[in-house]
Amino acid sequence: MLAVFASGNGSNFEALAGAGRSGALGGTIAALFSDRPDSRACECARALGIETVCPPVGRFRTRIEDERTWLDALHARRVGCVLLAGFMRRIHATLLDAFPERILNIHPSLLPAFPGLDAIARAFDHGARVTGCTVHLVDAGLDQGAIVAQAAIEVREGDTLEALEARMHEAEHALYPSAVRRFLTEPWRREGRRLVFESRAGEKHRA
Ligand code: GAR
């Protein structure tokens, strides 16, 4: 069972849920977990008939004060893998230790460039000619975990931030479900920082 954590708009959650429905995710989404019961992500989950779970977050803005309440809710739903999709709180030891190499995130840059907040705008303002999105394992560092998949996006002459953001979201919605499927269904191993799939890269999108 999979859980998606989202805080905001929920477009990546929708893409994951759509892939889940059509059997293209390699797993079933048991619930959407959110720190924002009023978010569009929660509205989407309700509209899709996916359980919405909003455990307490406590006093802090950038973390969950007591992750054990979230962990209990995950265990109660037999969740084996967590997908962060625009979840704007850092994950700490209680959840990381309970799900070693089982928490994924999508980030709107080609990591290790532009970790953290406002990554699309920072790449644009920096004058990057190529940016993109990254699906990676979550560890204790900020957007530091092993890279599972990336997609590149060209920054065009005359591009606007809005146009780049739109192409970024489109790329994310394609990349995240396919990366999750590959991660869940193909054997892989770690070689230092690298996450290495046993099958050849060219075979990844054939399924
Ligand atoms: C996405 O672009 C995602 O990559 C980003 O937040 C957006 C959420 O959109 N996540 C981060 O910046 C995490 N560091 P969504 O709510 O429509 O899926």
Q: How far is the CA of 126 from the centre of ligand 1 (A)?
A: 20
Does residue 118 share a domain with residue 96? no
Which residue, 64, 85, 100, sits at the end of a domain? 100
Residue 20 belongs to domain spanning = 1-100
Closest residue to atom 7 of ligand 1, CA basis: 86
pLDDT tens profile 11-52 = 999 999 999 999 999 999 999 999 999 999 999 999 999 999
In the reported structure, the alpha carbon of residue 55 is separated from the centroid of ligand 1 by a whole-number distance in angstroms of 21
pLDDT value at position 203?
57
Residue from 136, 172, 176, 180 whose mutation best tests the ligand 1 pocket (most atoms within 8 A of CB): 172
Query: Whose CA is closest to 179, among 77, 84, 52, 49?
Result: 84
167, 86: one domain: no
Nearest to 51 by CA among 18, 81, 83, 77: 77
DSSP state at residue 47: H
Residues having CB within 6 Å of any atom of ligand 1: 6, 8-12, 85-86, 106-108, 119, 172
Tell me if the pTM is above 0.75.
yes
Domain limit, last residue, from 74, 100, 126: 100
Asked if residue 35 and residue 90 are part of one domain, the reply reads yes
pLDDT digits (tens, 9 = 90+) for 57-99: 999 999 999 999 999 999 999 999 999 999 999 999 999 999 9
Do 82 and 168 sit in the same domain of this protein?
no
What is the signed CA dihedral for 131, 135, 139, 142, rounded to 10 degrees?
Answer: 20
On whether both 31 and 18 belong to a single domain, the answer is: yes
CATH code at position 44: 3.40.50.170
For 86-134, write each residue's pLDDT tens digit: 999 999 999 999 999 999 999 999 999 999 999 999 999 999 999 999 9
Statement to judge: residues 147 and 187 lie in one domain: yes
Half-sphere CA count of 106, side-chain side, radius 13 A: 31
CA of 110 to the centre of ligand 1 (A): 14
Boundary residue ending a domain (58, 83, 100): 100
Alpha carbon of 24 to ligand 1 centroid (Å) = 21
Same domain, 5 and 96: yes
Q: Counting atoms of ligand 1 from 1, which one is nearest the CA of 40?
A: 16
Taking 60 as the threshold, does the pLDDT of residue 204 lie above it? no
- Tokens 């850092």, residue located: 90
Looking at the fold, whether 39 and 95 belong to one and the same domain comes out as: yes
Residue 205 has pLDDT above 80, yes or no: no
Using pLDDT thresholds of 50, 70 and 90, give the confidence band for residue 192: very high
Mean residue pLDDT across the chain: 96
Atom of ligand 1 minimally distant from the CA of 115 = 14
